[in-house]
Amino acid sequence: MPGRVLVIEDEPGLVLALTDRLGSVGYDVDCATDGEAGLERALETNYDVIILDIMLPRKDGFEVCRDLRKKGVTSAILMLTARDRTSDKVVGLKLGADDYLTKPFESAELLARIEALLRRVPPAGSKTPDPYVFGDVEVRLKSAEVLRDGKPVKLSAREFKLLKHFVEHPSVVLSRNELLDAVWGYNFIPSTRTVDVHVAWLRHKLEPDQRHPRHIVTVHGLGYRFEP
Ligand code: CA
């Protein structure tokens, strides 16, 4: 599964190894060796996946991640660190990273994670129109804003990610496990009940009649289906 990958990492040996390995399986790889340069590159080009080290010169990985999400960059972000600290994982994921890998890691594991990210994130520049309109709702994918009847609707980051996944997969049944994997990632496996709670919140905010949902429909025994 080819894709564009940006590696933001300051260890020359690791940069070389990653570039070689990713290139050898067909990825188009760019790299940047400090946080500022990485941020610039990531804003210039639509990458499918950004591999982001935490300890970086000029701007650390947390700041880069936060700035990217603030600027509406939707590339999948995989954070790397030498420290296996739960607090780092929580901070990274809260700032909008999609996955996390602790150094040292096997290249096979990295490749598997990247493939998983590419499966769950639609390819950069995919066909979903932006803004995407259904009923009286307008979803601005790049800027992560949602309007209803022209008025802004406040959604949490998870609610927005869930809504985004729905609008990018219209008219197909999505199981709770698929939604968990796509929106929460396998580092956070709470329970499928979490999906139901977030769906209820989305319906409350976006459906004309939340008891008889027209857009986010329950498919009994299977999951949910988004109907534009
Ligand atoms: Ca580093």
Could you tell me the CATH number of the domain that includes residue 149?
A: 1.10.10.10
- How far apart CA 61 and CA 74 sit, in angstroms, is 16
pLDDT band per the 50, 70, 90 thresholds, residue 18: very high
Residue 20 has pLDDT above 90, yes or no: yes
pLDDT at position 85, please?
A: 67
Of 95, 120, 145, which residue constitutes the final position of a domain?
120
Q: Which of these three, 67, 93, 120, is where a domain ends? A: 120
* Final residue before a domain boundary, out of 93, 120, 147: 120
Structural domain contains residue 221? yes
Of all residues in the chain, the percent with pLDDT exceeding 70 is 92
Q: CATH code at 10?
A: 3.40.50.2300
Of all helices (H) and strands (E), which one includes residue 123?
Answer: none
80 within some domain: yes
**What are the b/e assignments for 15-25, b being 16+ CB within 10 Å?**
beebbeebeee
Residues 151 and 215 in one domain: yes
* Higher local confidence (pLDDT), 116 or 19: 19
Task: Report the pLDDT value the prediction gives residue 223, as an integer from 0 to 100.
Answer: 92
Residue 127 lies in a domain: no
Q: What is the pLDDT of residue 190?
A: 66
Distance from C-alpha of 203 to C-alpha of 185, rounded to nearest angstrom: 22
- Pair 163, 90 in one domain: no
CA of 40 to the centre of ligand 1 (A): 18
pLDDT above 60 (res 122) = no
In a domain, 88, yes or no: yes
199 CA distance to ligand 1 middle (Å):
39
Do 112 and 141 fall within a single domain?
no
Is 181's pLDDT higher than 90? no
Residues above pLDDT 90, as percent of the chain: 56
Cα(25) to centroid(ligand 1), Å: 24
11, 56: one domain:
yes
Q: What is the whole-number distance in angstroms between the Cα of residue 186 and the centre of ligand 1?
A: 25
Compute the distance from residue 55 Cα to the ligand 1 centre, in Å.
4
- Does 125 have pLDDT greater than 60? no
Answer yes or no: do 45 and 67 share one domain.
yes
Domain identity same for 153 and 192: yes
Number of domains the chain contains: 2
pLDDT score of 200 more than 90: yes
| 109 lies in the same domain as 144 | no
136 and 108 within one domain: no
16 and 92 within one domain: yes
User: pLDDT band at 121, cuts 50/70/90?
Assistant: low
Asked whether residue 10 falls in the same domain as residue 106, the answer is: yes
pTM above 0.75, yes or no: no
Degrees to nearest 5, angle at CA 159 with 158 and 163: 115
Nearest Cα neighbor of 214 from 224, 47, 222, 223 is 224
Dihedral angle over CA of 71, 76, 79, 85, nearest 10? 100
Name the residue range of residue 206's domain. 132-226
Residue 54 CA, ligand 1 centroid: distance in Å: 6
Q: 103 alpha carbon to ligand 1 midpoint, in Å?
A: 10
The verdict on 115 and 27 lying in the same domain is yes
- 227 CA to centre of ligand 1 in angstroms: 45
CA distance 9 to 191: 34
pLDDT of residue 83: 65
With contact defined as beta carbons under 8 Å apart, do 46 and 125 qualify? yes
Distance of CA 20 from the midpoint of ligand 1 (Å): 18
Report how far ligand 1's centroid is from the alpha carbon of 44 (Å).
Answer: 22
- Banded model confidence at residue 104, pLDDT cuts 50, 70, 90: confident
* Ligand 1 centroid from CA 179, angstroms: 33
What is the predicted pLDDT for the residue at 186? 60
Whether the pLDDT of residue 211 is over 80: the answer is yes
pLDDT band for position 96 (cuts 50, 70, 90): confident
Indicate whether 50 belongs to any domain.
yes
pLDDT at residue 170 above 80? yes
Is 125 contained in some domain?
A: no
Task: Please tell me the distance between residue 187's alpha carbon and the centre of ligand 1 in angstroms.
Answer: 22
Q: Same domain for 88 and 172?
A: no
Q: How far is the CA of 9 from the centre of ligand 1 (A)?
A: 6
Give residue 221 CA to ligand 1 midpoint distance, Å.
Answer: 46
